Amino acid sequence: MSLLDGIDGVVFDVDGTLLHARDPGGVTGAHPVPGAPEVLERTRAGGRRVLLFTNGTGKPPADYAADLRRVGFDVADEEFMNPAVVAARYIARTHPGASVLVLGCPGVAAPLHALGVRTVDAGGDVVLIGWDDALTYAQLHAACDAVWAGAPLLATSTAPVFSVAGRPAPGWSGAVVAGIQQVTGAPALTLGKPSAVALDEMCRALGASPARTLVVGDDLDLEIEMACAGGARAALVLTGISTAEDVAARPPARRPAATLADVTQLFAAQAD
């Protein structure tokens, strides 16, 4: 069976899958994986919808989409998503009228504001942690106070590492959330990859069920884990953080349907 048989929508990870960049912003000094821009065009031409998803939240989603266009990807703003978008939609849907204490840069708050969700600097009915490398102790204290008062703790990502220029880099949001959990003892809900919440939002955006969605990524613990757990089809590319040896070491139920040298093999691949 072809990897794309029965697939209506394809989710592509960005760094390590479609391109390589030099910093956590995602596309600074980026160069596409050869042939990757054409893969998006061919996927659409085959009648399938596409969505690009990165766990990065360092800038507003529209800025990420614009950056991708500058390095050669024909992607519309609505074809790009990150955990800040997932968080905004999740909070608006499950905590209507709530105020949100954000530990994160403007890229984390922008999708909240776009949906009319109010953000605050202290208190807050919900605490949301995202990318912000200028975090202060006062902000950390305010977040812990809100959690101690009963606010749920949400995280755009709890991934320990992510791919930058094909190598692992430490995850900021995950480190901050781990610290707040250590202090407060509160559980955290992850809204980025590999969470079921993220996959649900991707499928809503694509208008496809998980069973008719293919997730393509370079990280077994993020994209592939999310797809396998959520009933979507998964394809691993070997241009990022995970290796073929890593695949062999995983239980069969958590392996991708196909392992590709790079994303250009998508159309020739067979599903296991």
Q: Which pLDDT value is given to residue 224?
A: 98
Q: Which amino acid is at 248?
A: A
What does the pLDDT average to over 82-101?
Answer: 97
The token duo for 248 is 């062999």
Residue 15 gets which letter from DSSP?
B
Contact between 154 and 163 (Cβ < 8 Å):
no
**Does residue 24 surpass a pLDDT of 60?**
no
d(CA 74, CA 76): 7
State the burial class of residue 29 (Cβ atoms within 10 Å of its Cβ: 0-12, 13-18, 19+).
exposed
Q: Phi and psi of 161, rounded to 5°? A: -140, 165
Spell out the domains of the chain, with CATH numbers in brackets: 9-82+193-265 (3.40.50.1000), 96-190 (3.40.50.1000)
**Does residue 161 surpass a pLDDT of 90?**
no
What does the pLDDT average to over 239-247?
Answer: 95
pLDDT cut 90: percent of the chain above it: 84
Q: Which pLDDT value is given to residue 168?
A: 73
Could you tell me the pTM of the whole model? 0.92
Q: Which pLDDT value is given to residue 28?
A: 64
